[in-house]
């Protein structure tokens, strides 16, 4: 009897919550639609599919005909659906109660759409922590997919990784399948016949007498059409068709559902996996200096010819490091956890489905981290998370009112943030040296105007400095991991890291041409206001924050001879798009529109500046009690994506400047309001 190998083939489909409609449509036309149409023609080709809940809902709404194909494949037993957290959270960074509700929501959705309740689950970004086992098991999940790298990091040998193993935590057990890295890098990048031949070669691996070896593949479906060059390769040149036909024609390969393999074979034994994700994540999650050292170790091992052997032991960071690398991600994460706790504390009769759904959306992973794709660098992804959180908080406040002023060390940095809240607005001040606002949320507009991102040093910026890579050579196509492209011209100053916060109201003092940051050392909370006392050299500065209705009020006081300035970074959703514009009162007293947020301007002796965002349907009006010079420019960051290095506008950067000679006081107002329809 000839030896066979079971091909366990699965794909993971995901689009971030809040992604642009045109991006969604392009992904459907170049990937989801042709993939489904191709596999539909081969009923004997069995595959597994996980799709995040938000994407599934979008596809059913906008492309029901393609979802009809998927339902047909489900009815004839061709596709096995995998569960997960419904809005694609990293399960390890949300509470047990939310893991349960996210997993249940996804399983309910699959059962409603396809009449199937999943036995297996996809782990977002394959982030494994043993703490997720109880929720998975308690949700009825029997097995999950992780990388073979996870097993290798635990000391396993590769020849053991052609079946599933069993683990346990807190008295609950679950089975774990190792996804083959070799297959992930071959499919669909190497020619189809070579990929089929490689899978056939795995039949020579034997685990035990009664266990047929398995070739285990489960990876992003977007590699089949969305990644650079893949659309023509996979569909135009017929890679997917050739691969499926080669698989079905093989006398060695059995196209098998993972659930069937799981029920027909025995576990390969117990395993305990370390806290880890796929190997690339270990580098991405490290700060730039550590990432450089990690890269040096990898290249040294590669040069010595021991990388394949030693890579599991040259391990980088863990996913949670992103919350230490990016304070903006940490703040959003801790705000989400606070809202989760508030929701959980409600009496049972007040917990509504709409509240749970908003919490789930706020836990979508994409805006909290960054790797090969834009992630936290993309303002519209962060905005979707904040949009959900602000709506949820407004509804929770309607059920359980909060005081107008409160404090608490929410972000765990050892300092208690100050929350100033009205029915329309919330301002949050972090009492560090800048004493700036790290959040300015409008409840009617569901927008956090302080949702921006500092300019950070990234390890991959070295590639941007060195220039584009050479063209890919040889058969097949290059992986997006291996190609350096540029969407925009990148200058050295674009890569200079920020040394100060990108919040609202960070002050500087210039005396005899020496510009110094105002550093605040003392904060007082009195009445409904926050008083911050600081100094720059020998010059003292006082700053007072208060909130009233839809107004943020800031007073600045100093005495001296020099120049006082304050910098505001204001996140407007349209960024540098056509829907955003400044409005300035001209000499004739009439409002004028000098241009958009992506342009540079300097205005002298200004007391009133409007910022209108017609995409948001809202505006901010800045008023100053003392005429001020205002410099306006866009704040950009540089990040990498699958399409190349790009400059992304994060916020409007306004610098307000006053000449000071003696005692000085200025009162500023930021009024947030909806635009008239």
CA distance 317 to 269: 28
CA distance 93 to 98: 10
CA distance 430 to 417: 5
**Secondary structure letter of residue 342 according to DSSP:** H
Query: What sign for the dihedral angle of Cα 309, 313, 316, 318?
Result: positive
Number of H helices, E strands in the chain: 20, 25
State residue 567 phi and psi, 5-degree precision: -115, 135
Q: Give, in order, the Cα–Cα distances in Å from 427 to each of 299, 527, 547.
A: 47, 15, 7
Catalytic residue, candidates 125, 222, 283, 439? 125
State residue 324 phi and psi, 5-degree precision: -95, -30
CA distance 320 to 277: 11
State residue 257 phi and psi, 5-degree precision: -75, 145
Query: What is the end-to-end Cα distance of the chain in Å, rounded?
Result: 75
Lookup result for tokens 């370390």: 274
CA distance 604 to 623: 14
Q: What secondary structure does DSSP assign to 43-74, as a single string?
A: TT--EEEEE-HHHHHHHHHH-HHHHHHHHHHH
What's the burial of 563, exposed, middle or buried (CB within 10 Å: 0-12/13-18/19+)?
middle
Pairing relationship of beta strands 417-421 and 425-429 according to DSSP bridges: antiparallel
Nearest 5°: CA angle at 268, between 265 and 273?
A: 130
409 is an active site residue: no
Cβ count within 10 A of residue 201: 12
Catalytic residue, candidates 108, 138, 220, 511? 220
16: tokens are 């971030």
494: tokens are 């674009």
CA distance 540 to 620: 29
C-alpha torsion 383→385→388→391, nearest 10 = -60
9: tokens are 């083939």
Nearest to 503 by CA among 490, 520, 489, 488: 520
Pairing relationship of beta strands 5-13 and 214-220 according to DSSP bridges: parallel
482 is an active site residue: no
Residues classed as catalytic: 125, 220
């Amino acid at each position: 009897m000839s030896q066979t190998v079971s091909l366990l083939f699965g794909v993971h489909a995901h689009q971030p919550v809040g992604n642009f409609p045109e991006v969604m449509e392009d992904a459907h036309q170049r990937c989801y639609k042709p993939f489904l149409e191709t596999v539909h023609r081969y009923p004997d080709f069995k595959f597994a599919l996980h799709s995040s809940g938000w994407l599934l809902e979008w596809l059913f709404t906008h492309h029901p005909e393609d979802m009809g194909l998927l339902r047909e494949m489900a009815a004839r037993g061709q596709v096995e659906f995998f569960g997960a957290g419904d809005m694609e959270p990293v399960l390890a960074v949300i509470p047990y109660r939310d893991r349960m509700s996210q997993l249940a929501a996804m399983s309910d959705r699959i059962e409603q759409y396809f009449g199937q309740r999943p036995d297996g689950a996809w782990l977002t970004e394959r982030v494994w922590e043993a703490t997720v086992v109880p929720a998975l098991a308690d949700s009825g999940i029997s097995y999950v997919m992780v990388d073979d790298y996870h097993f290798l990091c635990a000391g396993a040998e590769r020849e053991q990784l052609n079946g599933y193993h069993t683990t346990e935590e807190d008295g609950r057990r679950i089975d774990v399948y190792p996804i083959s890295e070799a297959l992930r890098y071959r499919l669909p990048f190497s020619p189809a016949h070579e990929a089929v031949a490689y899978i056939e070669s795995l039949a020579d691996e034997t685990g035990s007498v009664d266990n047929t070896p398995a070739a285990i593949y489960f990876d992003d479906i977007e590699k089949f059409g969305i990644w650079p060059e893949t659309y023509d390769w996979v569909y135009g040149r017929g890679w997917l068709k050739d691969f499926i036909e080669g698989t079905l024609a093989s006398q060695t390969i059995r196209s098998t559902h993972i659930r069937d393999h799981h029920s027909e074979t025995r576990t390969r034994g117990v395993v305990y996996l370390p806290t880890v994700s796929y190997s690339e994540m270990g580098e991405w999650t490290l700060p730039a200096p550590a990432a450089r050292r990690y890269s040096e170790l990898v290249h040294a091992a590669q040069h010595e010819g021991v990388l394949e052997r030693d890579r599991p032991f040259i391990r980088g960071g863990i996913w949670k490091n992103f919350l230490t690398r990016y304070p903006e991600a940490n703040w959003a994460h801790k705000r989400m956890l606070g809202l989760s706790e508030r929701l959980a504390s409600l009496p049972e009769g007040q917990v509504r489905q709409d509240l749970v759904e908003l919490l789930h959306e706020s836990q979508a992973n994409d805006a909290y981290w960054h790797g090969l794709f834009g992630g936290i660098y993309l303002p519209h992804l962060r905005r979707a998370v904040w949009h959900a959180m602000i709506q949820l908080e407004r509804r929770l406040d309607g059920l359980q009112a909060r005081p107008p002023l409160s404090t608490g060390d929410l972000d765990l940095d050892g300092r208690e943030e100050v929350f100033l809240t009205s029915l329309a607005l919330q301002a949050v001040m972090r009492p560090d040296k800048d004493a700036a606002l790290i959040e300015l949320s409008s409840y009617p507009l569901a927008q956090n105007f302080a949702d921006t991102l500092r300019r950070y040093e990234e390890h991959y910026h070295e590639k941007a400095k060195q220039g584009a890579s050479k063209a890919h050579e040889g058969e097949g196509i290059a992986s997006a991991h291996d190609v350096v492209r540029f969407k925009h011209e990148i200058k050295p100053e674009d890569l200079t890291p920020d040394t100060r916060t990108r919040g609202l109201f960070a002050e500087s003092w210039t005396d005899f041409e020496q510009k110094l940051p105002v550093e605040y050392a003392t904060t007082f909370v009195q009445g409904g206001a926050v008083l911050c006392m600081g100094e720059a050299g020998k010059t003292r500065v006082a700053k007072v924050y208060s909130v009233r209705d839809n107004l943020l009020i800031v007073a600045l006081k100093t005495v001296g001879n020099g120049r006082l300035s304050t910098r505001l970074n204001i996140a407007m959703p349209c960024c540098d798009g056509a829907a955003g514009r400044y409005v300035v009162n001209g000499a004739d007293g009439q409002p004028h529109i000098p241009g958009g947020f992506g342009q540079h301007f300097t205005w002298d002796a200004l007391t009133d500046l409007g910022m209108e965002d017609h995409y948001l349907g809202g505006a901010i009006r800045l008023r100053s009690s003392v005429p001020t010079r205002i410099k306006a420019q866009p704040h950009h960051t540089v990040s990498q994506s699958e399409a190349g290095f790009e400059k992304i506008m994060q916020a409007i950067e306004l610098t307000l400047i006053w000449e000071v000679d003696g005692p000085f006081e200025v009162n500023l107002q930021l009024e947030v309001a909806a635009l008239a329809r």
